[in-house]
Amino acid sequence: MTLETISTAKAHGGVQGVYRHASAETKTPMTFAVFVPPHEQGAKLPVLWYLSGLTCTHANCMDKGEYRRLAAELGLIVVLPDTSPRGETVPDEKDNWQFGSGAGFYVDATQAPYAENYRMYSYVTKELPAVIAANFPADMSRQGITGHSMGGHGALTIALKNPDTFKSASAFAPIVKPSVAGWSKPALEKYLGADETAWRAYDMVLLIEDGKRFPELLVDQGEADSFLTTGLMPELLVDAAAKAGQKVVLNLREGYDHSYNFISTFMDDHLRWHAARLKA
């Protein structure tokens, strides 16, 4: 596979790059960002995946996430994928920010016309990791995953289904039960069909009910988040985890909203959480 370099810049002693490749999964060009910290020649570094939320691309966290200073210090590669396939050939609902472009929900769609391109689960868990392994100084035996909102949903569902791949998992303000939340339920129905049993594989609460486990999940949630009670509902995760014996650390943060002002504030905590597990 050919990797096109869109830009690279030195930052905090490492390199912040933006790249593009032709994805076999989505059948589109896909753009992603990678930060490689300063390191010794030949070293292989642990990898932290950050999955973004609705409407975002790789660029939101790259610009506003404030991860480079500490990732450089801790020696973490940080990978920021896009949130969906994009382009003229990709079916979309242009006026709907909760579906289609920017709203892939990290699922493999099974329904026409979306099944052809919307394969973000396989893209993020299989295709892009192979690209990272082949092109960056990455130790793929040490991967962690985090994300925000829709990407927090993506991160924790992927971790629960792939506990052998990931050593650490966390989320900022995740959508914990997309099968019931108003902004995600219509998307799951369009991507996966009306039979809700197919949705269980993409819902962290239902995955835990169905027996999936991960050593420990870290969640930060702002209490002034305007989506807290209708779209995010972290208490549903805490309840399901308590019943199932799944360990969850939930930090409610007084006064913080859903924006990168919140994410960047607690980014250091999450980087240290992952580094402690990836470098153990």
For residue 126, the SS3 value is helix
Nearer to its own copies, 62 or 160 (CB): 62
Taking the C-alpha atoms of residue 176 and residue 136, their distance in angstroms, rounded to an integer, is: 32
Residue choice 2, 9, 42, 164 for contact with its own copies (CB under 8 A) = 9
Q: Is 262 in the site for its own copies (CB under 8 A)?
A: yes
**Residues in contact with 2: Cβ distance below 8 Å, sequence separation at least 6, in sequence order:** 21, 22
Q: Is 139 in the site for its own copies (CB under 8 A)?
A: no
Known catalytic residue: 258? yes
Q: Stretches 5-13, 91-99, 143-151, 161-169: which one binds its own copies (CB under 8 A)?
A: 5-13
CB-based contacts of 252-257 (< 8 A; 24+ apart in sequence): 252/221, 252/222, 252/223, 253/220, 253/221, 253/222, 253/223, 254/223, 254/224, 255/222, 255/223, 255/224, 256/222, 256/223, 256/224, 256/225, 257/222, 257/224, 257/225, 257/226
**Least distance in angstroms from the C-beta of 261 to its own copies:** 4
Interacting positions 69-88 with its own copies (CB under 8 A):
69
The residues with which 33 forms a beta bridge, in sequence order, are: 18, 80
List the catalytic residue out of 108, 225, 270, 274: 225
**Least distance in angstroms from the C-beta of 183 to its own copies:** 21
**Residues in contact with 267: Cβ distance below 8 Å, sequence separation at least 6, in sequence order:** 65, 66, 67, 70
Nearer to its own copies, 167 or 270 (CB): 270
The residues with which 77 forms a beta bridge, in sequence order, are: 47
List the catalytic residue out of 149, 168, 170, 184: 149
CA atoms within 13 A on the CB side of 62: 24
Q: Is 264 in the site for its own copies (CB under 8 A)?
A: yes
**Least distance in angstroms from the C-beta of 181 to its own copies:** 23
Q: Is 257 in the site for its own copies (CB under 8 A)?
A: yes
Q: Is 89 in the site for its own copies (CB under 8 A)?
A: no
Nearer to its own copies, 180 or 267 (CB): 267
Interacting positions 27-66 with its own copies (CB under 8 A):
63-64, 66
Alpha helices, DSSP H only, in the chain? 59-64, 68-74, 120-122, 128-135, 150-161, 185-192, 204-209, 234-244, 260-278
**Least distance in angstroms from the C-beta of 66 to its own copies:** 5
Q: Is 12 in the site for its own copies (CB under 8 A)?
A: yes
Positions touching its own copies (CB under 8 A) are: 9-13, 16, 63-64, 66, 68-69, 222, 224, 255-257, 259-262, 264-265, 268
Q: Which residues are identified as catalytic?
A: 149, 225, 258
